[in-house]
Chains A and B, each alone.
Chain A
Amino acid sequence: MSVQSVEKKLEEEIKSEFPYADNVDWNEVYQRIIYRYSTPHGLQHVKEELYKLEDEGEIIVHHIKPENNPVEVQTLNGFPKKIPTTKLWHHKSCGQCGHIPGYPTSVFWMMNKLEVDYLDEPHQTSCTGWNYHASGASNPVALAGVFVRNMWRAYETGYYPLIHCGTSFGHYKEVRNMIILHKEIREKLRPIMRKLGMDIVIPEEIVHYSEWLFVMSKKAAQQKKYDLSNIKAAVHTPCHVYKLVPEDTIYDPAVYQGRRPAAPTGTVMNFGAKIVDYSTWWDCCGFGFRHILTEREFSRSFALFKKVIPAVEEGHADVFVTSDTGCVTTLDKSQWVGKAHGLNYNLPVLSDAQFAAIAMGADPYLIAQIHWHATDVEGFLRKIGVPVDDYKEKFLQYLQDLREGKAEPQYLYPKHRKIDFYLALPDRVKWYKGNK
């Protein structure tokens, strides 16, 4: 066949396969493709708009300052993200404080150890993201109002907000984008904030505590008390930490070649444990927001079959480490029930904060509060050489003394004044911090 006839045949084939090729406006097709593959929430775009709105006086931006001693890391697409490491305002998690109290106390304890300046106040609310994702009983303006009110309380103290909950973290990123990209939301929000004596304030970066812990982990691990080199740790990265507004989650080439989020895997690595992989690493824990309360058949089945069993059978894990409220709860509480079907699993579940604090020598009961966990955390502690029985005896005595009024509760930072439980007073930081 001659070259010409091959070309002619080719043309004919193309014509018969794509009969509309001549009639279609290809430019229009390209535009559609660009539209469909693009995202209106591109992080770079959001950031540009944020600073534009600041210049126009539409919003106040809470900047990360040199006094926050920031560390620069990379996000999914390679953009830099600043992680403040000190002068932090704790945005606590309701589920952690309610059911896994050793989670926030481990964070406070490590901050004390690492001499990090922080503020923890009664002037914070839940992000209401749990309620929203479970029930749908909220709306964009309410969600924005809750976010901005909390951010304002941090802003007025000069301390930078550090978000404890994975859902708050992801949810706040989404709400931030919405406030920045939608004037109509700002217009409805502003009068509500004014009524509360506040304005619209947005922090420059939304930062999760697990990111803080990751950037601090090498330094923290220098104070490690126990050897973890024999420990095989499976990690569950919480969905709302890296799938909700995925672009500003941090990644590090040293952690799975940057194919998994840096935190909490990198933290566990930096503390010297061996990371083990399992096929469902990307799957959800089964929490489901409303499911953990009213559809637990789903939660416990999913947690056990899709997370715990693969981590044990494939990864031979000694411990399950994760970095969000719902995930610790679901993975920890869903194992016992397996016994009903002869599935005897008891894989200890810890947050990265508890894991790190315990490795640094924190009291497993008083600080890591492991008695709130259902799984065999004590077994894990024995494996790394923690004198569990001594700690336990001391703690049981402490509980007894508290019951009988023979002991006063101990505190990680000075108690608040009575008035702080009523009003958010302008002088409060001065009072908390003395002359600092």
Chain B
Amino acid sequence: MVNKALLSTLPDDPRYLDASYNVQGPLPEEDRNLLSNLKPEERELAKQFWEAVKSDFRFNEYLRGCLNCGVCTSGCPAAKFYDFGPREMIQYMMRNEVDKIWEFVNKKVWACVQCYTCSMRCPFNNEIAGLIMLLREYAVKFALPSAKEVLAPYRRVLLTVITMGNQVTPDMIQPDAFPDWGPQAVEESKNMDVYRKAIPVDLLQRTDIGWHSSLQTAVEIMTIFIESGVLDSIKKIDKDLYDMIMDIYEERKQTLEEIKEKWKKGELKEEDLPDSWLEL
């Protein structure tokens, strides 16, 4: 039976009204003893991490309460394959369980496939997949080991998307990297040059980029990533990648400015430009 005295004093936070618990709202540290479950050397970082996530402007908007119904986990593809489920994460968040959040972000958060099935089905309209992204974003920002591990094989993709404005390189399909894709992948990589040439759109004919973007576009997307602080996070995780991107940025920005200047003065001769700035 629900405790009368407790329910007559509901906590300020409108998310808490949960008949399955005697205590409404997060458990106090004395009761749950969360911090002792964290290794002493990680305690401060774990606390800072969780405080940072909670203070993000999206956190309260995305987390709207929880019935503990499990609808989210029951439809979750990742939960069918990994020891992972969105319900547990939401419950840790609702209960302010810093130790469990820390464990979740270091072990499990990368299992999610971002399908948004949970978000669409949650009866409380929790933006669950968005909360997962919040944890991932901050894992990168805090340069946590799990983020480093995830980003390591992802460097090339990051480099391409930030410096060329396009995430995909057709020639990344190499049979040794994609042996499970079968003989078609072998055919594809063998004929990559001519296959690309046979696509009837001029932007799509290179093997090293999904579509050929303009130099100005490439400089603009780098500017956005730099000015918005994404590069600051990357610097903490992968200094070499950061240096590489900044060098490319400086160089391309200067080339762009020179070309723009010439064009403004009416001095630019198109025939003097190389066919592609990617060859500069």
Chain A residues near B (Cβ < 8 Å): 19-20, 23-25, 28-29, 31-33, 35-41, 92, 94-99, 101, 104-105, 108, 120, 122-126, 128, 130-142, 145-146, 149, 153, 170, 174, 178, 182, 184, 188, 191-192, 195-196, 239-240, 242-244, 246, 282-284, 286-291, 293-294, 296, 298, 300-302, 306, 333-334, 336-337, 365-367, 369, 371-374, 395, 398-399, 402-403, 409-413, 415-425
Give chain A's interface secondary structure class: helix
Q: Which residues of B are found within 8 Å of A134, using beta-carbon distances?
A: 154, 157
A130 to B166, CA, bound (A): 10
Tell me if B137 and A138 are in contact (CB < 8 A).
yes
The stretch that binds A, out of B38-46, B47-55, B85-93, B167-175, is B167-175
- B228 near A418 with CB under 8 A, answer no
Q: Would you mind naming 5 contact pairs between A and B with Cβ atoms under 8 Å apart?
A: A137-B237, A142-B229, A284-B77, A333-B185, A399-B191
In the assembled complex, which residues on chain B have CB atoms less than 8 Å from the CB atom of A145? Answer: 224, 227-228
Whether A99 touches B168, Cβ cut-off 8 Å, given contacts A19-B2, A337-B182, A422-B277, is yes
Bound CA–CA A96/B67 (angstroms): 40
Given the interface contacts A374-B181, A423-B259, does A416 sit within 8 Å of B198 by beta carbon? no
Give the residue name and chain of the B residue nearest to A287 (CB). Answer: B113
Residues of A within 8 A of B268 (CB): 419
Complex CA–CA separation, A74 to B259 (angstroms): 48
Most buried by A among B14, B178, B203, B276: B203
Contact partners of A38 in chain B: CB under 8 A: 64, 125
Quick check: B201 and A413 within 8 Å, CB to CB? yes
**Docked-complex contact A306 and B77, CB < 8 angstroms:** yes
Contact A422 B273 (CB under 8 A): yes
Q: Do B153 and A293 touch across chains, with their CB atoms under 8 A apart?
A: yes
Supposing A94-B168, A135-B154, A145-B224 touch, asked if A402 and B137 sit within 8 A by C-beta, the answer is no
Give chain A nearest CB distance to B211 CB in angstroms: 5
Decide if A243 touches B181 in the complex (CB within 8 Å).
no
**B100 within 8 A of partner (CB):** no
Given contacts A149-B221, A421-B214, A424-B216, contact A97 B204 (CB under 8 A): yes
Q: Write out the residue numbers on chain A whose beta carbons fall within 8 Å of the beta carbon of B205.
A: 409
Distance, CA A412 to CA B75, complexed state (A): 42
Indicate if the CB atoms of A122 and B217 lie closer than 8 Å.
Answer: yes
- A290 lies within 8 A of B110 (CB): yes
A101 close to B199 (CB less than 8 A) = yes
Tell me whether B150 and A142 are in contact (CB under 8 A). Answer: no
Which residues in chain B, 211-248, are within 8 Å of chain A measured between CB atoms?
211-217, 220-221, 223-225, 227-230, 233-234, 237
A221 CB, nearest partner CB in chain B, Å: 23
Task: Find A36's partner among B64, B167, B195 (CB 8 Å cutoff).
Answer: B64
| B158 cross-chain contacts in A, Cβ below 8 A | 131, 135, 137
Partner of A182, one of B57, B120, B165, B184: B57
- The reply to whether B167 and A131 form a contact with Cβ atoms under 8 Å apart is yes
* Measured CA separation A425–B169 after assembly (Å): 26
